[in-house]
A and B are shown apart, each in its own frame.
Chain A
Amino acid sequence: MIKLNNVSKEYPRRGMALVDVSFHVPKGEFVFLTGHSGSGKSTTLRLIHMAEKPSNGEIRVSGFSSEKTTRRDLWKLRRRVGFIFQDFQLLPGRTALENVAFALEVTGVNRKQIRPRAQRLLSQVGLAPKAAAQVNELSGGEQQRVAVARALANEPVVLLADEPTGNLDERASRGIMELFLELNAMGMTVLMATHDLEIIRRHDRVRVLELDQGSLVYDSAGAAVPAGGAPDA
């Protein structure tokens, strides 16, 4: 579902953000991507979402290759890969329902279906009672649920989450984690970047990938990873 082959990313000023990273996440797997700040977690997710191209190597996501996918075709990938941010990235001044409906509207869903589908998505994340609330009136946990509902609008097969619990208290974090595990149980592939070791410890059956200074240094599926390589998945 997600495959990185010897991926490196170099920025003109910052230098190497990723160094020869390879790993494979099969369909339906839940994976934590961990490491200190600046270790390359966000860069990895951005590359998988094809917001940027790798300097070297190839990324394959749900049939899309970073070498062949052009800017023009990006929308097809984006409908198969949902993205969740630490800061939610919701449209302020709109209700929870409107935020979810927006994603449906701009991807060309039939007008009549938009409202009921947005309602259903909010129910799925347990936020149906707050549908009419302005997003800035919601708690952090609730806002993140709206973001998840929005990410699910196009029925993606992969969910990428960049520190989704970073701005949440422990209770809200647990709620979001439960939601992700539920989605994963329904067959969705989830790759979640987090530096919260407590969450990782609590879910000890989830595979963990660890980055350090842009290199993959640990993969719980194959224990220690030699520099520049990854176990065959």
Chain B
Amino acid sequence: MHSLREAIAGFRRAPLLTFLSAGMVALAIFVVGLFGLVAYNLRLALETVEARVEVVAYIREGTDQERILNAEDELRRMPEVLSVRYLSKDDALAKAQAELPEFQQVFSDLEVNPLPASLEVQLQPGSRNPESVSMVAEVAAAMPFVEDVRYGRDWVDRLFLLRRIGLISALTLGAAFAVVATLIIGAAIRIAIFARREEIYIMRLVGARDSFIRAPFLLEGGLTGLFGGVLAAVMTFVGFLVVYRFIFRLEWIPASWIGVGIAAGALLGLLASRLAVGRYLREIT
């Protein structure tokens, strides 16, 4: 009760600074929130794209059917593999004609079918990463009758790199803003401490516990951070709406992410005030 009263008095004493602190926390979390929004949508997009990640093994002309069937079985037994489909030379030509209608004439003029037979290997949802893809590709490439293996390695690698870069930049930028927010909240708490320094001195003199002296400042910092977190959630949502309305449709991030963001704000506020008041209490006796 005493703590809450004092914390509110603290807000009243320096409303601009409180707002600035909350704003800074909001900005720090907003940056992370925006990147979170991008990362979340990138992940959704990647999941769709990843479903199409496959390994294609082209088969040397004249390989007998039994060896191909054995190879199919071998690949199918790998835990990373979801399905294996055999595409004969004729299937390949039919597929090419269906997918590339503008070359209809070229295909029908052919005297010999130039397209090789192939095995199309689909991967399990959890194994559509660069490591699993190249492992399956290596197994296929090691088969003596396999001429060539394609799996768009660069493409898979790049998608994963993109995701990693997104995450690292969000964390770096977020951390930088968090440091600034901590400093500003610290400054606000130091002003609150300065305004109450006589009281703090007397509290120490008459035997108030440190936890009792700290409580209002922690509450003030925590509430400022919490407010900043909520503000960040609102700002992220506004950002989402703007992109959704005017640029392209994207998905809103899960509620648990927002919860974590707001909690991070409160925690940041607590941490900043704990540091500031701890330092002051060490200075006085």
Determine if chain A interacts with chain B: yes
Contacts of A72 in B (CB 8 A): 210
Contacts of B204 in A (CB 8 A): 74-75, 78
Does A107 have its Cβ within 8 Å of any Cβ on chain B? yes
Number of residues from A at the complex interface, CB < 8 A? 26
Contacts of B207 in A (CB 8 A): 74-79, 107, 154
Does B199 have its Cβ within 8 Å of any Cβ on chain A? yes
Selected contact of B208 from candidates A52, A89, A107, A111, CB within 8 Å = A107
Interface-central residue, B1, B207, B212, by most chain A CB under 10 Å: B207
- Considering only CB atoms, which chain A residue lies closest to B285 in the complex? A51
Contacts of A154 in B (CB 8 A): 206-207
Which residues from 186 to 244 on chain B have a C-beta closer than 8 Å to any C-beta of chain A?
A: 198-199, 201-210, 212-213
A150 to B285, CA, bound (A): 18
Once A51-B285, A102-B199, A105-B2 are accepted as A-B contacts, the answer to whether A89 and B205 lie under 8 Å apart by CB is: yes
Interface-central residue, A50, A77, A105, A111, by most chain B CB under 10 Å: A105
- Considering only CB atoms, which chain B residue lies closest to A90 in the complex? B202
What are 16 contact pairs spanning A and B, CB under 8 A? Answer: A52-B285, A71-B285, A74-B204, A75-B204, A75-B207, A78-B204, A79-B206, A89-B201, A92-B198, A106-B203, A106-B206, A106-B212, A107-B207, A108-B212, A111-B1, A153-B206
A residues neighboring B (CB under 8 Å)? 50-52, 71-72, 74-79, 83, 89, 91-92, 102-103, 105-108, 111, 150-151, 153-154
Chain B: minimal CB distance from A102 (Å):
7
Interface-central residue, A74, A89, A106, A151, by most chain B CB under 10 Å: A106
Interface secondary structure of A, over-half rule? helix
- Considering only CB atoms, which chain B residue lies closest to A50 in the complex? B285
A107 to B212, CA, bound (A): 8
Instruction: Decide if B206 touches A107 in the complex (CB within 8 Å).
Output: yes
Chain B: minimal CB distance from A208 (Å):
27
Instruction: Decide if B206 touches A91 in the complex (CB within 8 Å).
Output: no
Q: Which 6 A-B pairs have the closest CB atoms?
A: A78-B207, A79-B207, A106-B208, A51-B285, A103-B206, A75-B207
Contacts of A50 in B (CB 8 A): 285
Contacts of B210 in A (CB 8 A): 71-72, 75
Contacts of B209 in A (CB 8 A): 75, 108
- Considering only CB atoms, which chain A residue lies closest to B213 in the complex? A106
A78 to B208, CA, bound (A): 8
Chain A: minimal CB distance from B210 (Å):
7
A106 to B208, CA, bound (A): 5
Selected contact of A102 from candidates B202, B212, B282, CB within 8 Å = B202
A44 to B91, CA, bound (A): 101
